[in-house]
Amino acid sequence: MSAEDHAMLFDIRERIARIESRQVHILEVLTENKAKMDRIEQEAHGLKGRVWLVSTFLYRDWETDRKSTRLNSSHSRASRMPSSA
């Protein structure tokens, strides 16, 4: 093997070692933060449920208010001309 081949092989091995080191670091960070991420996901899920609950009540109240101000046949019996007239 030539000196150039040895240099190239050495360079490849160095690059592989750096990649492996980065992978180890990434796995460590993910492992350390998994508990935090799980807690955040649980809080977000809880907030989503609360937002849905509040919005449901608000929408229901809005619909009730809107319906109570709408004039329809159940509110008053106005005399109307028969359709045959």
Per residue in 6-47, pLDDT (tens digit) is 999 999 999 999 999 999 999 988 888 888 888 888 888 888
Overall average pLDDT of the 43-53 stretch: 80
Match 């092989």 to its residue by tokens: 9
pTM: 0.39
Output DSSP code: residue 70.
S
Name the CA radius of gyration of the chain, rounded.
35
Match 């159940």 to its residue by tokens: 74
**What pLDDT score does 17 carry?**
95
Q: Give the start-to-end residue ranges of the domains of the chain.
A: 38-64
